[in-house]
């Protein structure tokens, strides 16, 4: 009889994601399309019968062809419908272009995407052509840089900043720290909003609580919300909406037509938290 450990090792590394020592999401491999180590991380694109193409960075699922709209729509639309007049947007991370694709549905003036790893952009252009045209839109400026170094030097202010990072390990680690958010605040206009992905409410609760504690000292409104993301650990994901002036539930404009997940009922419901998360945030 084989032990649990042996069972884990039977699964080739291309087919799995571990998010805790005892469980994970497993993809049956139809095809390994790309695998390489960039200067920052391991990058893999696999093909799965059900999910289509899946992008993994350091073994963590970032996006899949089948469920990308859950995450990207829920990262982007809550802030865009709540901001009264957003024109200048910054995305930190998100080199696959999925968040940008949603942002560009609005008549904004300018979107700047700052990605540390140029290889992620190249891979997305090649394997995720339904996400990456946003990277070449005329309103987009692409900057290859470390997110913190960029905001330290930034001479512009933004209406909304989206932090589309990976988990707090590897190249994304610093994007989860207090220091980063302090600097980010200085790049925001008066009615500015920051939205960050915050991890799994089930598996990453300790890191969410830590973040909540320092964010409350920096922003008047710290509002966590959740959404299903089928390919992420636990199936449910947490985001945080940060602002001083703008209230997330005061809708200032309608979402664009043709979205697959987000609507204004979902928006309202997403900010209702289950009891085990109720202590989070400032509202
Ligand atoms: N960024 C959030 C990825 C977090 C995934 N974590 C995990 N699977 N454990 C996704 C980038 C998509 N634009």
What was the pLDDT predicted at 10?
A: 56
Residue 16 structural domain = 10-63
Is 92's C-beta closer than 6 angstroms to any atom of ligand 1? no
Instruction: Answer whether residue 2 is part of any domain.
Output: no
Average pLDDT estimate for 138-152: 96
Average pLDDT estimate for 57-85: 96
Bridge partners (DSSP) listed for residue 35: 44
246 close to 191: Cβ distance less than 8 angstroms: yes
What was the pLDDT predicted at 1?
A: 38
Please give the tally of structural domains in the chain. 2
Average pLDDT estimate for 90-98: 97
What was the pLDDT predicted at 128?
A: 97
Short-list 200, 192, 173, CA closest to 242: 192
Which tens digit of pLDDT belongs to each residue from 121-130? 999 999 999 9
Catalytic residue among 117, 159, 164, 167: 164
Task: List the structure tokens of 177.
Answer: 């720290």
Torsions phi, psi for 81 (to 5 deg): -80, -20
CATH number at residue 20: 2.30.140.10
Instruction: Answer whether residue 5 is part of any domain.
Output: no
Same domain, 178 and 269: yes
Q: How far apart are the CA of 156 and the centre of ligand 1, in A?
A: 27
Average pLDDT estimate for 25-35: 91
The mean pLDDT of the chain is 92
What was the pLDDT predicted at 178?
A: 96
Whole-angstrom distance, CA of residue 280 vs CA of residue 111? 30
Task: List the structure tokens of 116.
Answer: 């540390």
Torsions phi, psi for 100 (to 5 deg): -60, -40
Cβ neighbours of residue 272 under 8 Å, at least 6 residues apart? Answer: none
């Amino acid at each position: 009889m084989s032990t649990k450990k042996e069972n884990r090792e039977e699964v080739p590394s291309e087919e799995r994601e571990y998010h805790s020592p005892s469980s994970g999401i497993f993809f049956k491999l139809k095809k390994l399309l790309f695998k390489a180590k960039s200067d920052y991380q391991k990058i893999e694109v696999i093909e799965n019968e059900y999910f289509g193409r899946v992008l993994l960075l350091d073994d963590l699922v970032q996006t899949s062809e089948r469920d990308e709209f859950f995450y990207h729509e829920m990262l982007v639309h809550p802030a865009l419908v709540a901001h009264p007049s957003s024109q200048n947007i910054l995305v930190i991370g998100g080199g696959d272009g999925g968040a940008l694709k949603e942002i560009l549905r609005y008549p904004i003036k300018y979107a700047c995407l700052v990605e540390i790893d140029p290889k992620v952009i190249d891979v997305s252009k090649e394997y995720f052509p339904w996400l990456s045209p946003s990277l070449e839109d005329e309103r987009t400026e692409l900057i290859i840089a470390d997110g913190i170094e960029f905001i330290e030097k930034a001479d512009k202010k933004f209406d909304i900043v989206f932090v589309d990072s990976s988990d707090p390990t590897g190249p994304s680690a610093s994007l989860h720290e207090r220091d980063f958010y302090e600097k980010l605040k200085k790049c925001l206009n008066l009615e500015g909003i920051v939205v960050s992905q915050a991890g799994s409410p089930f598996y990453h609760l300790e890191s969410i609580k830590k973040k909540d504690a320092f964010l409350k000292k920096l922003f008047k409104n710290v509002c966590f919300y959740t959404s299903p993301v089928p390919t992420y650990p636990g199936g449910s994901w947490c985001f945080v909406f940060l602002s001083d002036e703008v209230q997330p539930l005061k809708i200032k404009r309608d979402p664009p037509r043709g979205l697959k997940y987000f609507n204004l009922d979902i928006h309202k419901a997403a900010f209702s938290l289950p009891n085990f998360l109720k202590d989070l945030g400032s509202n």
